[in-house]
Amino acid sequence: MARLKSHAWDVVAWVFFAAVPLVIFYQAATNLAEQGVASGGPLENAAVFPRIIAWILAGLAVVNILRILMGLVTAPSPLSTTPTTRLALTATLLFVVYLVALPYVGYHLLTPVLLTILMRLLGLGWIASIVAALGFSLGVAAVFEGLLNVVLPVGFAEIAVFG
């Protein structure tokens, strides 16, 4: 148990990578079989290559968990935190909210808000944060909308400053 604690990130990564071959085998047996491409010669069998990789990954996953359990993974990876880990999580959560709201609210309304909050969280003053957030947002929009003709998300207000 102590070994699993000291290698917690290794275990998290192992769970993810061990699940990959299982998904491949399952998909090959269901979805690809239903499409009629899970058997036959090299041209008509779309599952042959993923299956080979899945077997290799499964083998590597077994070796890796044995290495973790036997204490052969020398570099520890505990779930340690720093004084600013909570800040990093908050920033990530903010970014998730930003992604959810982006298509509805639009780039020009939402981005300055996100950047202002982020800069405030990172320790800049209100005025500096607001001015920099507006400057960065407009600068990036000028490059993408103005120079590269990209349509940034316009949102409900349908704002495109440089488009």
Residue 63, token pair as written in the block: 């070796």
Smallest separation, CB 159 to other proteins (Å): 15
Question: How buried is 28 (Cβ within 10 angstroms: 0-12 exposed, 13-18 middle, 19+ buried)?
Answer: buried
DSSP state, residue 32: I
Give the residue with the Cβ less far from other proteins, 5 or 71.
71
- The CB-of-122 to other proteins minimum distance in angstroms stands at 4
Residue closer to other proteins by CB (options 37, 159) is 37
* Structure token digits, residue 100: 């959810």
The answer to whether 144 and 152 are in contact (CB under 8 A) is: yes
Residue 126 beta carbon to other proteins: minimum distance, rounded to whole angstroms: 13
Of the pair 15, 157, the CB lying nearest other proteins is at: 15
- In whole angstroms, the minimum distance from the beta carbon of 82 to other proteins comes to 5
Q: Quick one: 92 or 126, whose CB is closer to other proteins?
A: 92
> Residue 133 and residue 131: Cα distance in Å, rounded?
6
